[in-house]
């Protein structure tokens, strides 16, 4: 929503009043986000010229300015239909200084690097490559934007709500008189996702219009805000435990934490919460918590549904690498579909920043002797192999310090293979694993802990790993069979040959494949008898699903001492995804998904790897790490895996759901909530609430559900909010997925994420949840 307003020709006094109002509003918003009087904020509010860079010939100067809401950046455009354009600070993923994007590296020279910066947007929106007129201005733009982003992230729920509502009210104030008429109030309610009948709006208006002036102003608007944000459900919970002169004493709060939240805490912990979150100094001195302080606490990360202890690396990271689920990407280079979508180093950066620990590189002979990466036999664009390796080197360990696997799909001839090896060795340096760790031939994988900050190459190898410890060992053959996936790519273009095709393999490339040697899968018996631990197979999704359904226990035993990689079928030309859960249930570690495609399957992947510090590694349950295991996810029998739980969920309410079509003022959400369980087949279930008409601001359901969970260590719960539609498919509003083992009991808020996995500011679900053991 643009904050600019079309109006008649201004008089001089109009302009003076407007400038004063803009200054007042920007000052108020600066204060709300904690940047009152900040020099960098003032610089952004004043604005200035920046050069947009799109190609070597398209570099044009445009005026950019932060608007007075301190949340929207406006910039001029010379497009016929879009003379003015805006984007929200909330839409920015990050701001990169220097020539840190593909565009700036291609279309600018190194000597202007200090004047360059890139705004990276969430989702599929294109980067904005910019160049300031001086180094100092570039620094101020980056510093100002980063301050606003950081401060917005650190605002508590109350502050975010206040900031948002303040600006929605201002936008509804059409005549800019700092008052709200009944007509403006109705417009405001639609803006914040509430459709009310005229009589209710009139009652609400009359209740606040104590001066009977026909408008709301000053304290009346504050009263209206309080009525609007009042939470009845919080009143009920608070009043039950506020047994000390109408407030919660530390003892009362402790009772709530023990009884409702099922937390193992002491009176000292309750006192700390009062000191940390109580807003009223008098109550704080009396060691009490008011209702406002209680609501403040309930909206803190530590009180959310996700167990805050799991936000750090808390699992044992010293076990062999194959004992972990590893967050993995397929066709990592693609930004969109795999027929004609663009290939980009940016796709690798985005995957790595989302904790992906196994990325795929499809390598082909390129012009000028330089190998390229793209989806072979298609119209996808190409990106230089060496540029991809540079981007991986730069961003691999910014989110997680644990090892990254580079999965090579090699279609290059010998000369360019040698250059691939040379690039990886020179760019990755000592971080690249080029020989086994230790002085003796290993018998199992090193651990993620031992491999911190290191890169492993997955690909073909000409000889056994023992060659490192065998003097004068020679390579007898210089050809290897193609990977299953590489053969499939070729098979789509050429008729399949009965004999498995072979490719020449450069010794230089072969020698840096250490712990992840690709081999063809010829059956579990063959693998057990012939495969070394470091020899791993890749399975197309259909083959893996067949094995998971028909030979689950054998698949589990195979994965106890070897790695398995699963990849999507080549027929998924739209880069859609398969369900990863059955693969995880059988212990498959590298379950590769198309990270560029927002979908339920990617939500599950994000939920699976949410705990353990978002490290990209999750320790598999003990029964998936034991050769003697008799676990079969399809046919459950008694065993340590059977830890039956009952999950009770009461979906109480939601807060500030986003409008799906912001341009249509009347497109109010009719929300419902689905609760879905994913895990072993016996645990898969889904239930949904009734829908609420025309209320996305504060809908309330109070619907109860019960789920039986047989294997909780493999179960995920997904909360999905949809906009009900009686004539077509419901529209997606937001979701949140997490493992059952990371769920906190009690009254919990749940943040909501977009299709792309980004947090929706201020939007939450409020639930009561209880996971109870039945044994």
Known catalytic residues are: 330, 375
Q: Is 52 annotated as a binding residue?
A: yes
Q: Is 350 annotated as a binding residue?
A: no
Alpha-carbon radius of gyration of the chain: 29
Q: Is 398 annotated as a binding residue?
A: no
CB neighbours of 582 closer than 8 A, spacing ≥ 6?
Answer: 545, 548, 549, 633
Q: Is 614 annotated as a binding residue?
A: no
Q: Is 57 annotated as a binding residue?
A: yes
**Nearest of 391, 444, 349, 446 to residue 93 by alpha carbon:** 349
Q: Is 72 annotated as a binding residue?
A: yes
- Run of H or E including 14: helix 12-32
As beta bridge partners, residue 326 has 590, 617
Side-chain half-sphere of 497: how many Cα atoms within 13 Å? Answer: 8
Q: Is 525 annotated as a binding residue?
A: no
Q: Is 725 annotated as a binding residue?
A: yes
Q: Is 61 annotated as a binding residue?
A: yes
Q: Is 58 annotated as a binding residue?
A: yes
**Nearest of 471, 474, 555, 460 to residue 504 by alpha carbon:** 460
Q: Is 84 annotated as a binding residue?
A: no
Q: Is 62 annotated as a binding residue?
A: yes
Q: Is 450 annotated as a binding residue?
A: no
- Residue 621: Cβ within 10 Å count: 19
Using the 8-state DSSP alphabet, how is residue 682 labeled? G
Q: Is 76 annotated as a binding residue?
A: yes
Q: Is 79 annotated as a binding residue?
A: yes
Alpha-carbon distance 409 to 570, whole Å? 14
Residue showing tokens 């050429």: 494
- The answer to whether 605 and 581 have CB atoms below 8 angstroms apart is no
CB neighbours of 489 closer than 8 A, spacing ≥ 6?
Answer: 362, 375, 376, 377, 409, 411, 570
**Nearest of 687, 735, 738 to residue 712 by alpha carbon:** 738
Q: Is 670 annotated as a binding residue?
A: yes
Number of H helices, E strands in the chain: 23, 32
Alpha-carbon distance 718 to 689, whole Å? 14
> Coil, strand, or helix at residue 404?
strand
First vs last C-alpha separation in the chain: 54
As beta bridge partners, residue 564 has 537
Q: Is 9 annotated as a binding residue?
A: no
Q: Judging by beta carbons within 10 Å of its beta carbon (0-12, 13-18, 19+), is residue 680 exposed, middle or buried?
A: buried
Alpha-carbon distance 641 to 624, whole Å? 9
Q: Is 55 annotated as a binding residue?
A: yes
Q: Is 346 annotated as a binding residue?
A: no
Q: Is 236 annotated as a binding residue?
A: no
- Residue 725: Cβ within 10 Å count: 11
- The answer to whether 114 and 98 have CB atoms below 8 angstroms apart is yes
Q: Is 183 annotated as a binding residue?
A: no
**Nearest of 219, 205, 220, 277 to residue 248 by alpha carbon:** 277
CB neighbours of 410 closer than 8 A, spacing ≥ 6?
Answer: 363, 417, 420, 459, 460, 483, 486, 503, 505, 509
Q: Is 12 annotated as a binding residue?
A: no
- Residue 694: Cβ within 10 Å count: 17
**Nearest of 420, 516, 404 to residue 454 by alpha carbon:** 404
Q: Is 244 annotated as a binding residue?
A: no
Using the 8-state DSSP alphabet, how is residue 84 labeled? E
Q: Is 690 annotated as a binding residue?
A: no
Q: Is 6 annotated as a binding residue?
A: no
Q: Is 328 annotated as a binding residue?
A: no
Q: Is 70 annotated as a binding residue?
A: yes
What long-range pairs does 272-276 form, CB within 8 A, spacing at least 24?
A: 273/297, 274/250
Alpha-carbon distance 372 to 374, whole Å? 7
Q: Is 394 annotated as a binding residue?
A: no
Q: Is 74 annotated as a binding residue?
A: yes
Q: Is 171 annotated as a binding residue?
A: no
Please tell me the total number of residues recorded for the chain in this structure: 775
Alpha-carbon distance 694 to 67, whole Å? 30
Q: Is 694 annotated as a binding residue?
A: yes
- The answer to whether 216 and 197 have CB atoms below 8 angstroms apart is no
Q: Is 641 annotated as a binding residue?
A: no
Q: Is 69 annotated as a binding residue?
A: yes
Q: Is 59 annotated as a binding residue?
A: yes
- The answer to whether 439 and 427 have CB atoms below 8 angstroms apart is no
**Nearest of 607, 679, 606 to residue 645 by alpha carbon:** 679
What would the two tokens of residue 596 be?
Answer: 């560029």
- The answer to whether 591 and 584 have CB atoms below 8 angstroms apart is yes
Q: Is 94 annotated as a binding residue?
A: no
- The answer to whether 430 and 486 have CB atoms below 8 angstroms apart is no
- The answer to whether 445 and 321 have CB atoms below 8 angstroms apart is yes
Q: Is 53 annotated as a binding residue?
A: yes
Q: Is 497 annotated as a binding residue?
A: no
Q: Is 312 annotated as a binding residue?
A: no
Q: Is 538 annotated as a binding residue?
A: yes
CB neighbours of 740 closer than 8 A, spacing ≥ 6?
Answer: 645, 647, 677, 679, 709, 712, 715, 716, 717, 771
Binding-site annotation, residues for substrate: 52-79, 458, 460, 538, 565
Question: Which residues belong to the annotated binding site?
Answer: 52-79, 331, 360, 362, 409, 458, 460, 538, 565, 668, 670, 694, 723-725
Provide the annotated binding site for Ca(2+). Answer: 331, 360, 362, 409, 668, 670, 694, 723-725
């Amino acid at each position: 929503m643009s904050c600019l307003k079309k109006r008649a020709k201004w008089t001089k006094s109009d302009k003076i009043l407007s400038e004063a109002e803009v200054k007042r509003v920007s000052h108020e918003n600066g204060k709300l986000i904690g940047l009152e009087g900040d020099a960098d904020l003032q610089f952004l509010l004043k604005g200035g010229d920046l050069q947009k860079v799109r190609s070597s010939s398209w570099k044009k100067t445009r005026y950019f300015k932060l608007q007075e809401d301190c949340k929207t950046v406006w910039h001029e455009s010379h497009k016929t239909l879009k003379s003015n354009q805006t984007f929200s600070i909330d839409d920015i993923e990050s701001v990169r200084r220097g020539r840190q994007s593909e565009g700036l590296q291609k279309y600018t020279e190194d000597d202007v690097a200090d004047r360059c910066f890139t705004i990276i947007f969430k989702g599929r929106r294109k980067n904005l490559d910019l160049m300031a007129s001086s180094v100092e201005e570039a620094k101020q733009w980056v510093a100002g934007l980063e301050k606003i982003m950081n401060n917005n992230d650190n605002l508590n729920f109350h502050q975010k709500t206040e900031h948002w509502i303040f600006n929605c009210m201002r936008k509804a104030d059409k005549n800019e008189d700092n008052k709200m008429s009944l007509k403006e109030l109705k417009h405001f309610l639609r803006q914040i996702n509430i459709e009310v009948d005229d009589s209710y709006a009139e009652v609400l208006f009359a209740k606040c219009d104590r001066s009977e002036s026909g408008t709301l102003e000053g304290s009346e608007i504050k009263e209206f805000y309080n009525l609007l944000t009042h939470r009845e459900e919080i009143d009920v919970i608070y009043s039950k435990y506020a047994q000390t002169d109408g407030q919660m004493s530390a003892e009362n709060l402790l009772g709530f934490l023990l009884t409702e939240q099922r937390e193992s805490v002491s009176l000292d912990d309750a006192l700390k919460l009062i000191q940390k979150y109580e807003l009223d100094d008098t109550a704080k001195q009396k060691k009490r918590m008011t209702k406002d302080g209680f609501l403040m606490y309930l909206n803190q990360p530590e009180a959310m549904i996700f167990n805050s202890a799991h936000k750090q690396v808390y699992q044992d990271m010293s076990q062999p690498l194959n004992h972990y689920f590893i967050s993995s990407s397929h066709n990592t280079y693609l930004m969109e579909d795999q027929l004609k979508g663009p290939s980009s180093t940016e796709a690798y950066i985005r995957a790595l920043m989302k904790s992906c620990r196994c990325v795929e590189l499809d390598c082909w002979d390129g012009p000028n002797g330089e190998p390229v990466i793209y989806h072979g036999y298609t119209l996808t664009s190409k990106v230089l192999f060496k540029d991809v390796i540079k981007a991986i080197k730069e961003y691999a360990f910014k989110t997680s310090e644990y090892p990254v696997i580079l999965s090579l799909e090699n279609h290059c001839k010998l000369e360019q293979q040698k250059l691939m090896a040379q690039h990886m060795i020179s760019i990755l340096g000592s971080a690249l694993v080029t020989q086994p760790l230790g002085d003796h031939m290993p018998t199992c994988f090193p651990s993620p802990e031992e491999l911190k900050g290191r890169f492993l190459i997955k690909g073909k190898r000409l000889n056994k790993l023992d060659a490192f410890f065998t003097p004068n060992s020679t390579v007898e053959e210089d050809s290897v069979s193609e990977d299953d996936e590489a053969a499939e790519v070729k098979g789509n273009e050429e008729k399949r040959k009965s004999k498995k095709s072979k490719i020449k393999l450069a010794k230089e490339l072969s020698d840096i494949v250490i712990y992840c040697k690709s081999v063809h899968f010829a059956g579990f018996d063959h693998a057990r008898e012939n495969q070394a631990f470091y020899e791993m197979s890749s399975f197309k999704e259909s083959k893996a699903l067949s094995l998971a359904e028909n030979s689950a226990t054998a698949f589990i035993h195979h994965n106890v001492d070897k790695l398995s990689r699963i990849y999507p079928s080549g027929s998924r030309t739209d880069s859609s995804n398969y369900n990863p859960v059955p693969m995880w249930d059988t212990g498959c570690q590298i379950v590769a998904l198309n990270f560029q495609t927002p979908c339920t399957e990617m939500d599950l992947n994000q939920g699976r790897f949410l705990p353990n510090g978002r490290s990209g590694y999750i320790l598999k349950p003990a029964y998936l790490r034991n050769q003697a295991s008799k676990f079969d996810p399809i046919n459950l029998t008694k065993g340590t895996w059977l830890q039956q739980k009952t999950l009770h969920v009461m979906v109480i309410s939601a807060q500030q759901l986003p409008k799906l079509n912001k341009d249509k003022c009347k497109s109010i959400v009719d929300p419902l909530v689905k609760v879905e369980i994913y895990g072993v087949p016996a645990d898969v279930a889904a239930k949904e609430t009734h829908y609420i008409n025309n209320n996305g601001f504060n809908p309330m359901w109070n619907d109860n559900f019960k789920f039986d969970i047989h294997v909780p260590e493999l179960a995920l719960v997904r909360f999905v909010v949809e906009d009900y539609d009686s004539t077509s498919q419901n529209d997606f509003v937001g979701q949140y997925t997490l493992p059952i083992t990371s769920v906190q009991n009690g009254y919990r808020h749940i943040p909501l994420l977009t299709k792309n996995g980004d947090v929706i500011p201020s939007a939450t679900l409020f639930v009561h949840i209880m996971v109870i053991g039945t044994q």
